[in-house]
Amino acid sequence: MTTVAQTALRAAPITDTSSQFAADVIAGLTAKPKRLPPKYFYDLAGSALFERITQLPEYYPTRCELALLRENAPAIASLFPPTCVLVEFGAGSSKKARILLGAAATVEAYVPVDISGDFLQQDAAQLRRDFPRLAVYPIVADFTQGFGIPAPIAKLPPVGFFPGSTIGNFEPHEAARFLRHAGDTLGERALLVIGVDLIKDPAILCPAYNDAEGVTAKFNLNLLARINRELSANFDLAAFEHHACYNRIHNRIEMHLASLKRQKVRVNGKTIGFRLGETIHTENSYKYTIEGFKALAQGAGWSSLSVWSDGRFSVHAIQRMEVR
């Protein structure tokens, strides 16, 4: 008999990412004020730079979340239904999922969903070696656009996993829309384990996005390098500077790329003008209170089951409410 894991091993990677990159870049650079979607940070170079960010002394979220997951893995796993499938939104490396997979023997399949196929494929191969009984179905997709659970495991109850406070990179209305879509994908009464960074002293927040080594600056500037590589643009990286600051009104870190001079740049056959000091807004990273996130989730059809926090970061277990 063919096991679910064997079927998954033979399955070709599922690719349904369409290239919106050029259209989104031109739309963003011709908007006022200029902006670029943060999801495009994560090409191979950007993903590697993000991995370095997660190891920086100033960048506390990854360390805090890993510690929360490790300390509370048995409690989190105890909420999982028997023989379930773990669906990770925006997986990147599976480091955090591995903690849950190690604690929850009842997980039969793992579906990492990520826009960057390179990391996903490498990681899936390693996971299959480390968890031989686990079926691994990587899906290369923009998880905000919706995707289907692969047919051989579609009947298993799913548990969603969305770590890293990536929800903070959405505008609050987009975060609510994501939660509603995730609920539709996972189904009624499904569980979602989600990491959410907390509002705190800017003296802790700001250095996390302005590290002394300049890795976050490289990560931000890589967006321009990627546009040069993929859209035959001619951004001079030395003519732009990384800016990151905390906006107390909106409870968010804002990242920008500021033009150090008046200049014109060619992008995909179009000329884009920049004033001295004009910025491209590249990312928002929203921070929440525990109650504020619970209220956002509730408005999107999820009720709170449990929260684990160290005061800096929080991990929520939420359950999709029944739709009447």
Please report, as ranges, the residues that interact with ligand AVI according to CB under 6 A: 53, 61, 164-166, 168-169, 209, 216, 283, 285
Longest alpha-carbon distance in the chain: 67
Nearer to ligand AVI, 53 or 101 (CB): 53
Nearer to ligand AVI, 53 or 186 (CB): 53
The distance of closest approach from Cβ of residue 45 to ligand AVI in the complex, given in angstroms and rounded to an integer, is 15
Instruction: Please name the residue that has the structure tokens 């290239």.
Output: 19
The distance of closest approach from Cβ of residue 297 to ligand AVI in the complex, given in angstroms and rounded to an integer, is 17
Structure tokens at 28: 């963003």
The distance of closest approach from Cβ of residue 215 to ligand AVI in the complex, given in angstroms and rounded to an integer, is 9
Residue 204: what residue type?
A: I
The angle subtended at Cα 322 by Cα 190 and Cα 115, nearest 5°, is 40
Half-sphere exposure in the Cβ direction for 311 (13 Å, CA): 2
* Pairwise CA distance, residues 220 & 68, whole Å: 28
Structure tokens at 291: 């109650």
Nearer to ligand AVI, 94 or 285 (CB): 285
Nearer to ligand AVI, 112 or 168 (CB): 168
Query: By three-state DSSP, how is residue 93 classified?
Result: coil
* Pairwise CA distance, residues 268 & 41, whole Å: 18
The distance of closest approach from Cβ of residue 43 to ligand AVI in the complex, given in angstroms and rounded to an integer, is 14
Q: Which residue is nearest to ligand AVI (CB)?
A: 285
Beta strands in 103-221 (DSSP E): 107-114, 135-136, 139-140, 158-162, 191-197
* Pairwise CA distance, residues 62 & 55, whole Å: 8
* Pairwise CA distance, residues 265 & 236, whole Å: 8
The distance of closest approach from Cβ of residue 101 to ligand AVI in the complex, given in angstroms and rounded to an integer, is 21
Q: What is the CA radius of gyration of the chain?
A: 20
Nearer to ligand AVI, 28 or 102 (CB): 28
Nearer to ligand AVI, 94 or 166 (CB): 166
Nearer to ligand AVI, 209 or 235 (CB): 209
The distance of closest approach from Cβ of residue 273 to ligand AVI in the complex, given in angstroms and rounded to an integer, is 27
Query: By three-state DSSP, how is residue 240 classified?
Result: strand
The distance of closest approach from Cβ of residue 168 to ligand AVI in the complex, given in angstroms and rounded to an integer, is 5
- In angstroms, the Cα distances linking 294 to 69, 81, 135, 145, 288 are 19, 22, 32, 23, 9
